[in-house]
Amino acid sequence: MNLKQIKKIVKSNIFIILLIAFLIINIVILFVIDGPLWGFFCITLFILMCFTLGFAIYLYLKNLNYKKARKIGLLLAILILILLLTPYMILMTHLKAEANRPELQKLVKTIISDSDTDEAKTKKLLEWFNTSKNNIYNNYYLKVKGTLGFGGKIRVYLGEPYIGIRTFNDKDSLWILTSRYGHCGEYALIFRDMADEAGLTVRRARCFGEDHEWNEVLINGTWIVIDATRVGTAKDNGYNVSPKFMEKKVAGNRGTTEGNVSYVIAEYLNGTIVDITSRYTKIVNISIAAQDENGNTLSNVKIKIKSNNRYSAYDTRLSNTTNQNGICSFTLGGGDYIFESITNDIIPLFREKSIVFTEDIPNLNFTVVLKSDWTKNEVLFYGVISGIVIAVLFIFIFYIKKKKI
């Protein structure tokens, strides 16, 4: 093969040669760089792989003299990109998180090197989160405009950090050491891991109904409230935060003088979960009786609670099932809630009941009357809708054919 033939081959396959070259360059870069740009090149690599595959399909179809080879190759590349980007990023962030363990050990050792007490260690770790240091970027505090989001997990910025990729799985919390980006959930996760590495007793506090997460550290026998998102933005710098802070946070969001907190849990590293709502608000004991329209008690009714305290209809992750007497109980902070009740029948009985109550009452009892509602069976509902759509399509096709005849 002479030089002229080689040039001809290169010229005719220049696009695929460039794609392969970019693939190789991206793979090399992933082994060399770290930080937020790692995520950018990771996504770029996947896009290149999708379009390389699409181009290969195009060449194959072209050899078969298929007229729409180019369109099909492009459409398949885009389809693969849309369907597989999230699974691909879940895998890649998991692998990167596993590789970050030595970095966590090194980082924590450096931060607490001159700290003797648990209090000193905690304060030193919190300082790493100071907004002025840019060790980690919080989406809510970024002043960069022109952002573009993808599915709530990936966000592109026109300035630092340029790209933000949140954790896809809580177990891959060490991914945050690469992304250096997140919301309160990522802050609570990485602080938990850092505190544990420092030998502190730590747990993650989660308030789903009002959408916030923070930590608690056991210091001298007392659980101290820690919120790493407050470092550099609040007077307490996130250490020994008042347990009333969540009620104030909710009040600030709603523009009211008082706020409500629904339900707070603490998660330990070993997976143990405990209810710590009473640490952050006064609780009310709630008893709910479920009945049908004829006044018959209903057992095995699933009741879950949504909160309107901070945002509209946020799932508190608090649910229970009625007993044989048609009763179920909850402990909950005062506020504005939606109690959603449903049976597990093929055509279920359903009821949504909105209730507002204060924490001044120790007990609250009420009854929900459930009515038949087939639309609440999602399988049945979407099955009927799909059947209607298919029937309409068949009628339309039949009409077109008949018109042509």
Q: Where are the domains of the chain?
A: 8-99, 102-140+183-275, 282-372
- Tell me whether residue 127 is exposed, middle or buried, using C-beta atoms within 10 angstroms of its C-beta: 0 to 12, 13 to 18, 19 or more: middle
Averaged pLDDT of the chain: 88
- Give the residue with greater pLDDT, 16 vs 84: 84
pLDDT at 398 over 70: yes
The alpha carbon dihedral of 73, 77, 78, 79 has a sign of positive
* DSSP type of residue 48: H
Rounded to an integer, the average pLDDT of 246-251 is 92
Cβ-based neighbours of 246, under 8 Å, separated by 6 or more: 207, 210, 212, 259, 261, 264, 280, 281
Q: What is the pLDDT of residue 79?
A: 87
- Tell me whether residue 196 is exposed, middle or buried, using C-beta atoms within 10 angstroms of its C-beta: 0 to 12, 13 to 18, 19 or more: middle
pLDDT at 310 over 70: yes
Binned at pLDDT 50, 70 and 90, residue 330 comes out as very high
Give me the phi and psi of 191, to 5 degrees please. -65, -40
Q: What CATH number should be reported for the domain whose range is 102-140+183-275? A: 3.10.620.30
> Which of the residue ranges 8-12, 43-47, 156-160, 366-370 would you say has the lowest mean pLDDT?
8-12
Domain 282-372's class? Answer: mainly beta
pLDDT at 1 over 60: no
- pTM greater than 0.85 (yes/no): no
pLDDT at 145 over 80: no
Residue 243 belongs to what H/E stretch?
none
Strand order across the 265-267 sheet = 222-226, 212-219, 202-207, 265-267, 273-275
Residue 304 belongs to what H/E stretch?
strand 302-307
Q: How far apart are the first and last CA of the chain?
A: 61
Binned at pLDDT 50, 70 and 90, residue 58 comes out as confident
